[in-house]
Amino acid sequence: MTNLAATLRTRLKAVADPERAPGMQAYMKSAMPYLGVSTVPLRALCKAVFAELRYADPAAWQRDVLDVWRGAEFREERYAAIELTGVRAARSFQTLDSLGMYEEMIVTGAWWDYVDAIATQRFWPILQHDPAAMKRRMLAWSRDEDMWKRRSAILCQLKAGTGTDLDFLYACIEPSLESREFFLRKAIGWALRQYARTDPAEVTRYVAAHETRLSGLSRREALKHIAPAR
C-alpha cells in the first residue's frame, strides 16, 4: 500500500461510524464492505488529504488513483480514488490519455455509484479537450458488451447543456434503445431528461418518434419535468 492509500484508510477509519456501515452496504447491494463514512465527511477528508498534492505528470497521478482503487478493502476508499481523479492538481490531465484508467475503474467497479460519478463528472472535460477522438471512443463503448461502458457513453454529455451534440447523444443511445437492462433504460431516460432542461420540445419530439422502441421507464424519466401539452 502506498503512503497516500495508507493515509486515506487511516483517516477514513478515524471518522467512520461502524454502526452505519451495514446499512450502507445493504443499500448499495455491495459485496465490498463499508467503513461507515457518509459523503460530506468523506469529501472533506479527501479535500484535506489531497490539498498539498502536486503532480509533475499524469502518470504519477494515475498511479496514485489506481493504487488507492486497486488496494481498496472498503467502498469509501474507492470513493476517495474517484475524488482524487477530480483534484485541481489533475485538471490538465483530463485528456484521452486518462480514459484507460477510467475504463478500468468502470469495468472493475461495475456498479452505478462508481460509474455515474466518473461518466457524468470526468468525461465532459475529456470531450471538450479531445472531442473527435473521445466521441469515437464513446460510440464504440455504446456498442460494447459491457453494460457499464454503454451506460457511461449515454451519460458522458450530461453536463453539456446547450453544448450537447444531439446527433452524438442519439447515436450513443441507439444501440441500447431496446435493451431490457434497467440501468441502460434508466440512463437513457436520465440523459434525455437532462437535455430537456435545454430543449423540452426536442425531447418530446424524440420520445414520440421512438415511442415503440423506448421502454416505459425511459419515456417516463425523459418527460418527467416536461408539462404535458394542453
Q: Are residues 140 and 229 in the same domain?
A: yes
Confidence of residue 106 (pLDDT cuts 50, 70, 90): very high
- Is the pLDDT assigned to residue 159 strictly greater than 60? yes
- Is the pLDDT assigned to residue 70 strictly greater than 60? yes
Task: Specify if 100 maps to a domain.
Answer: no
Task: Specify if 45 maps to a domain.
Answer: yes
Structural domain that includes position 199: 132-230
Q: Are residues 142 and 200 in the same domain?
A: yes
Mean of the per-residue pLDDT values for the chain?
96
What local confidence, expressed as pLDDT, does residue 227 receive? 77
Task: Specify if 166 maps to a domain.
Answer: yes
The residue among 93, 122, 140 that closes a domain is 93
pLDDT digits (tens, 9 = 90+) for 12-48: 999 999 999 999 999 999 999 999 999 999 999 999 9
Q: Are residues 84 and 136 in the same domain?
A: no
As a whole-number percent, the residues of the chain with pLDDT over 90 amount to 97
Q: What is the mean pLDDT of residues 99-119?
A: 98
Task: Specify if 127 maps to a domain.
Answer: no
Single out the residue of 119, 109, 48, 120 nearest to residue 79, CA to CA.
109
- Domain with residue 64: its CATH number is 1.25.10.90
What local confidence, expressed as pLDDT, does residue 25 receive? 98
- Is the pLDDT assigned to residue 62 strictly greater than 90? yes
The residue among 77, 93, 109 that closes a domain is 93
Confidence of residue 125 (pLDDT cuts 50, 70, 90): very high
Quote the distance between the C-alpha of residue 123 and its chain's center. 8
> How many domains does the chain divide into?
2
pTM: 0.95
- Is the pLDDT assigned to residue 1 strictly greater than 70? no
